Structure 1
Amino acid sequence: MPTPEPHLTRTVDASAWSPPLPEAPGFDHLVVETPGLRTHVAALGEGDPVVLLHGFPEHWWQWHAVAPAIAAHGFRVYCPDLRGAGWTEADDPRVERETRLRDLLALLDALDIGRAHLVSHDMGAITAMQLTYDHPERVRTAVQLSVPPGFFTFSPRLAPGFRHLPRFIWHRPGVSLRGIFSAAYVAHPMSRATVEAHLAPMARPEIDAAVRPLTRGMILPEAMRMTRGFYRRRRLTVPTLVVFGRRDRPWTEELMGRVCREPERYADRVEFAYVDDAAHFLTDDAPAEVARLALDWFDRAA
């Protein structure tokens, strides 16, 4: 049994949570209390820390097939539910551009994590990107799934990649998000049980109500900074691997080569990888390959 980290309350029985946590053997379920926030963290393994930041509308369970594969190679893996997602509770429903970044820094401090490998997907990659640029001393390596690096140049051909945003900007509480797991975003159809596991926390009114604040307060302002070239005027010093599924349109290898020309001008070390037979939800389509790529990057780039 791992030694409990300080400042944590351990909950052993997943069914004690409301709604019940999806099944995933081997995880410890923790609550980390920081000012104004009680973060649910699923963790497993022993060794150097790896932090996995989920996308939308997912939560810690997004990593249920990835985290054990990473932990098996000698890592302590942490899968937090970020503010507005999963089973995390916040005193204040407001979200600003860097709210989740501040949350993450407080979480790392509470867990006594000085530096960690960082793997992120979708909306979680926004917070990961902020951390790597503003606090590179906290990140050993970064793996970014399904989101381009901050220094990309916007092209009209990328517009279809943002086609999902209007439904989130104008999200109405109680409206199902099941369409987000359609064939446009996954290479392999998800089972009903998998979709229900991803969407389980939406039964919590505060999580359903967080969709608009997250989109309007964090995603849109950060997207505007990227499209205006803000990160092209900065230097990315954290070794970063950017991964896309080959069936994730419009983020093709050809187009990414155009909008991310000469990455050495903007970053010390960036590489791109493309996963066959996978789309936007990489951790569902190809969890073993995601884990393999992450472990390889930790080894080569740390």
Structure 2
Amino acid sequence: MGMLVDGTWQDVWYDTKATGGRFERSASAFRNWITPDGSAGPSGRGGFAAESGRYHLYVSLACPWAHRTLIFRALKGLEDHIGVSVVHPDMLDQGWTFLTDDHGATGDRLHGLDYAHQLYTRAKPDYSGRVTVPILWDRQTETIVSNESSEIIRMFNSAFDGITGNTDDYWPEDLREEIEAVNARVYDTVNNGVYKCGFATTQEAYEAAEAPLFDSLAWLDDRLSRNRYLMGDRLTEADWRLFTTLLRFDMVYHHHFKCSRARIADHPNLWAYTRELYQRPGVAGTVGIAHIVRHYYYSHQTINPNRIVPVLTTPDFGAAHGRG
């Protein structure tokens, strides 16, 4: 995994000794916002106006957090306005790299760099912290706008509407309070919950994360037995934030992260819902299954020391879902 310390790369894994074996995710460091007129957003500084061709998105096809941003780029018709570079699935001693492969890794299409950590030091030479994706880069000021996926998708949801004419709203004002409540539980126990299971280094820490994860999956399955989407009949960001974890669950988290009590396929409503979202126009093209499987099983040597990548049966996301 590694991290930067005062601008110098260090190949170090997460330190769970100080947390009793619990995995604790670091907060994102770059929290600026693109807005229609460049005014400041809820955090960070202003100066980032929505303009076609100005911004570039760095992602991993394996990463669920980065996947959210690719989905919103597709849903909101931003492909011709925001460029993309895809890192290599293997995250080893230099972290995310810009090596290329035949499954979608593109190299750094903007700067020709070798490693993602070089983007961080390009933006802030003395940066200290983890180097994560997604990275939303501003070509005009040569800096990182944001590396917080939940905020990038909200920028994509509305900031460019005047350019694209796409006014689909996945964060409608009348549902925001309920969306935030669902997002909070899903983030803590599901999106991040699978990582808290997989990266735990004590039995107690693992069990403390595993029970809430499956409690929430049961709660979500029940909610979806009565509603087509998490907010009823309206598709919102809450659905897409959940989807990227559900998509990876049976292929990766069930085995690799020891989330083994049940599969998503064992939750009938969640499984049909996952298939429906996958089949929405533009979404399947954002999914890189080969990258997903390769990244998790090969990169996490502390979990899989021999780096054996299993032969898996890919779930049939294209099967009829029967939801509406």
TM-score scaled to structure 1, two decimals?
0.30
> Which structure's residues are more often strand, by fraction?
1
Please say which structure displays the higher CA radius of gyration.
2
